[in-house]
Amino acid sequence: MTTTKGLEGVVATQSSVSSIIDDQLTYVGYRIDDLAENSSFEEVVYLLWNLKLPTKSELDTFKAELASNMELPEAVIDHLRSYDLSTVHPMAALRTAVSILGLYDEESDVMEEAANKRKALRLQAKIATIVTAFARIRQGKEPVKPKKDLGFAANFLYMLNGEEAKDVEVEAINKALVLHADHELNASTFTARVCVATLSDIYSGVTAAIGALKGPLHGGANERVMKMLTDIGEEENAIPHIKEKIANKEKIMGMGHRVYKNGDPRAKHLKRMSKELTKTSGQSKWYNMSVKIEDFIKEEKGLPANVDFYSASVYHSLGIDHDLFTPIFATSRVSGWLAHILEQYDNNRLIRPRAEYVGPKTQDYKPIEDR
Ligand SMILES: CC(=O)SCCNC(=O)CCNC(=O)[C@H](O)C(C)(C)COP(=O)(O)OP(=O)(O)OC[C@H]1O[C@@H](n2cnc3c(N)ncnc32)[C@H](O)[C@@H]1OP(=O)(O)O
Ligand SMILES: O=C([O-])CC(=O)C(=O)O
């Protein structure tokens, strides 16, 4: 048996959802650059689930279905209120709330394809409502119900802030959601596929995936990027701070990637957004500091910025709490998880690799009094 640490380079499944070839990312063959510039998030979700772009009327219907499924059962909101609001991280709240949501979906364990598609839609629709309801409850505010005439990105900001956002803010969130929607067999998507390959249900698969996304080596990096920037404080401290981290063998959050060695194609969009949005909000120092760090790490370690690096200053400049950065990632990535879950069900086989045993050789059992 040969083992590959971290499964690097192992091709574990076939997929038609997204691809990374020669450092280019496509969703169903459509270049991420085109989608980021032109698509609504709903259009991308439709693409990932149906493997084709929608017509105008298909998109209108899909948007309306999503918007009309956004409200949460009151019982889920009551659960959110019952958490220890001073300590619970929003990713932990989201993970638990999605699991609870499954208890209130009467089709939770119905495994027919049509039922799975209906559940996917209901779950995608409700995820932003969970994130924003929790964010408001912990501030002592009432959750805001979604508006049926707003798109997904606009509803997210509306439910978060209790007032309709400016177009430029909606466009920024929409683009961030498009850029985060899917990414081949990343750790959380693989987790979702492993879970449902046992023929477990969609809510279990997404709950498991949220747990995997939460970690700092994956989606949890974006919150840590902002922590690093705020610890640095001022531009002139950036390089000394990073040098110290490297000397202590600490990883620089938002840098490096398992697949991209020459640059993450999503990062340039977020970098551009960071430049514009930090300038508009009078906080260019976060962008300037980020550029210094990116250039230094590229030069010193040959590592490129990943999708998490500039998303931090983008969300910060929109006034979003730092611990909501990863839940926003999840709000988008659930679309990819669901696409992969549906694909897994469609051509399923249990995912069960082997482990190379490196423990002690066969040992003779000793009764407890002889040990
Ligand atoms: C959406 C996403 O999930 S994107 C990734 C988000 N995660 C982060 O930004 C966390 C920081 N980055 C990392 O930890 C890594 O680059 C990962 C997890 C993304 C990829 O990891 P892997 O491909 O497994 O690389 P691995 O962790 O083995 O690192 C290889 C070498 O590069 C170094 N390295 C990798 N990333 C970094 C980093 N961000 N800062 C400093 N050194 C790094 C490692 O220390 C290691 O060096 P060594 O060989 O001298 O020990
Ligand atoms: O693909 C990965 O390993 C991580 C990543 O960039 C993502 O999930 O978007």
Pocket lining for ligand 2, CB < 6 angstroms: 183, 186, 257-259, 306-307
Neighbours of 3 (CB within 10 A): 12
Distance CA 274, CA 255 (A): 16
Among all ligands shown, which has an atom nearest to the Cα of 182? 2
- Band (pLDDT 50/70/90 cuts) for residue 2 is confident
**Cα end-to-end span (Å), the chain:** 33
Task: Point out the ligand 2 atom lying closest to the alpha carbon of residue 307.
Answer: 6
Q: What is the pLDDT of residue 25?
A: 98
Instruction: With both helix axes pointing from N to C terminus, report the angle between 202-213 and 187-196 in degrees, rounded to the nearest 10.
Output: 150
Residue type, 226: M
- Band (pLDDT 50/70/90 cuts) for residue 200 is very high
257 is catalytic: yes
Predicted complex: ipTM over 0.95: yes
Residue type, 321: D
Residues of the chain with pLDDT > 70: what percent? Answer: 100
84-139 pLDDT per residue, tens: 888 999 999 999 999 999 999 999 999 999 999 999 999 999 999 999 999 999 99
How many angstroms is it from 358 CA to the middle of ligand 2?
Answer: 30
| Total length of the chain | 371
328-346 pLDDT per residue, tens: 999 999 999 999 999 999 9
Q: What is the pLDDT of residue 233?
A: 97
Query: Is pLDDT above 90 for 288?
Result: yes
Distance CA 124, CA 284 (A): 34
Longest dimension (CA), the chain: 76
Distance CA 181, CA 162 (A): 25
Q: What is the pLDDT of residue 85?
A: 85
Q: What is the pLDDT of residue 86?
A: 87
How many angstroms is it from 52 CA to the middle of ligand 1?
Answer: 34
Distance CA 275, CA 131 (A): 26
The whole model's pTM is what?
0.98
- For the chain, strand residue ranges (E) read 18-21, 24-27, 30-31
**Residue that the structure tokens 């960071």 belong to:** 274
Question: Which whole number is the average pLDDT over 308-321?
Answer: 98
User: Phi and psi (nearest 5°) for 21?
Assistant: -130, 125
- Band (pLDDT 50/70/90 cuts) for residue 156 is very high
Q: What is the pLDDT of residue 1?
A: 76
221-317 fold: Cytochrome p450-Terp; domain 2 (1.10.230)
Question: Does residue 167 contact residue 321 with C-beta atoms inside 8 Å?
Answer: no
Provide DSSP, 105-149.
-TTTT--SHHHHHHHHHHHHHHHHHHHHHHHHHTTT-PPPPPPTT
Cα–Cα distances in Å, from 96 out to 78, 89, 101, 120, 283? 13, 11, 9, 17, 35
For the chain, the domains span: 16-214+322-346, 221-317
Of 180, 257, 269, 316, which one is the catalytic site residue? 257
61-96 burial, b for 16+ CB within 10 Å, e for fewer?
Answer: ebbeebbebbbbeeebbebbeebeeeeeebbebbbb
Distance CA 23, CA 307 (A): 13
Pocket lining for ligand 1, CB < 6 angstroms: 6, 217-219, 221, 251-258, 301, 303, 306-308
Cα 324 off chain centre by: 11
73-92 pLDDT per residue, tens: 999 999 999 988 889 999 99
Please tell me the residue having the least CA distance from ligand 2 atom 3. 186
308 is catalytic: yes
Residues of the chain with pLDDT > 90: what percent? Answer: 98
Task: Point out the ligand 1 atom lying closest to the alpha carbon of residue 255.
Answer: 39
CATH superfamily for domain 16-214+322-346: Citrate Synthase, domain 1 (1.10.580.10)
User: In whole angstroms, how large is the CA radius of gyration of the chain?
Assistant: 21
User: Phi and psi (nearest 5°) for 338?
Assistant: -65, -40
Query: Is pLDDT above 80 for 318?
Result: yes
Cα–Cα distances in Å, from 341 out to 43, 111, 192, 334? 19, 12, 7, 10
Query: Is pLDDT above 80 for 278?
Result: yes
Question: Does residue 266 contact residue 307 with C-beta atoms inside 8 Å?
Answer: yes
Look at phi and psi of residue 282 and say left if phi exceeds 0, alpha if psi is from -120 to 50, else beta.
Answer: left
**Residue that the structure tokens 């509803």 belong to:** 155
